[in-house]
Structure 1
Amino acid sequence: MSDTAISLAVNEDEAALATPFVRCLVRLMRAQDSCGSWEGKSDAELLADFIVTRKQRRAMPVIGDPEPDVLWRLDMFYTAVGLAIEERSGLMTSPMTKMKPMGASDDCVSRPGGWSLCRDIHRFGFATFRNLAQAGTKLVDDATAAVEAYPDVAPA
């Protein structure tokens, strides 16, 4: 890879890490560090587990059970979305996610050994910091637009 391509990638990552959504996610993650073990880490190092390259994704099975760390990152991502919506709109929000094995469900489309929401949740992640920033920002923008479109319904 050329020096120019590397410098563009670094600049793109720095820009993505500076977006309001990613800043919110970083604040949330740092707030979870009760022992101070992440104090010396940069924001990029802190969010590194959110990045899953194509090569890493291909190495993972298509269907699998998520590890607790993956579920925690998923929860952190959507909690950050809720906090960013709250910052923009002034309305309290929180994600409503509940993950459980499908074998424990009575749902007629359940299949033992799988997960009811998404079969590949164990592969949760983004190819780049830019993709992470775009995904979170899009969710926040869409929710904020809905709040603005229906101002009487949103506070209910």
Structure 2
Amino acid sequence: MPEAAVSPAVHEDEAALATPFVKCLVRLIRAQESYGSWEGKSDATLLADFIVTKEQRRALPTIGDPDPAVLCRLDMFYTAVGLAIEERCGPVTSPMMEMKPMGASDDCFSRPGGWSLCRDIHRFGFETFRKLAEAGTKLVDDATAAIEAYPDVTRA
């Protein structure tokens, strides 16, 4: 019996889920769950909220306040970046941001040169697992390169 044809997207998702950054993100998500309700769920299921398709993104308003679930995902993503940096090269790192659901967007607009990220933070997500993996890996790679280029600053 011939094997069923598997689409390239499935292989792409499997490769993305196997990257060190995504593995780190999954470990972080599993570590924060304390009731056992996620036990036995696949990594793809746990990361499903990080995927926001173009259609889903279009359905959301251009400007809006993020809900707590979005802020939690944003925090988990950048915390995983910090953990992956720590795993790769040693120094303890953590994100230096704090956003609150009420007025987060207003704060960012009131500052000259405020983050453009804040305008549509409520749309935070990636089109595919591959794009999630690429974004996290790029941040980790860039930070690691900076740490290796300036080791004295890292130890200060």
- Which TM class, normalised by the smaller chain length? 0.7 to 0.9
1:74 maps to 74
Cross-structure match for 2:21: 21
Structure 2 unaligned segments of length 5 or more: list them: none
Sequence identity percentage: 76
Per-residue Cα deviation, 1:68-122 (whole angstroms, up to 9, x for no partner): 00000000000000000000111111111111415885x8x529xxx99611000
Where does structure 1 differ by over 6 angstroms across 4 or more consecutive aligned residues?
none
- 1:61 maps to which residue? 61
Shift of 1:40: 2.0
SS in 2 for 1:23: helix
Cα distance in 1 for residues equivalent to 2:42 and 2:93? 28
RMSD: 2.1
- Amino acid corresponding to residue 25 of structure 1 in structure 2: L
Distance in 2 between the 1:12 and 1:49 partners? Answer: 18
Match of 1:84 in 2: 84
Q: 1:124 to 1:14 in 2, by over 3 A?
A: same
For 1:53 and 1:36, the matched residues in 2 are separated by 29
Q: Aligned with 2:154: secondary structure?
A: coil
Q: Which residue of 2 aligns with 1:130?
A: 130
C-alpha distance in 1 between matches for 2:155 and 2:31: 27
The 3 A distance-change label for structure 1 pair 9 and 104 is closer
| Higher percent of residues as helix | 2
In structure 2, the residue corresponding to 1:15 is in which secondary structure? helix
Q: Secondary structure at the match of 2:52?
A: coil
For structure 1, list consecutive stretches of 5 or more residues without a partner in the other structure: none
TM-score (norm 2): 0.88
Match of 1:97 in 2: 97
In structure 2, C-alpha distance between the alignment counterparts of 1:102 and 1:38, rounded to whole Å: 30
Q: How many residues are paired up?
A: 148
Contact between 1:110 and 1:116, CA under 8 Å: does it hold in 2? no
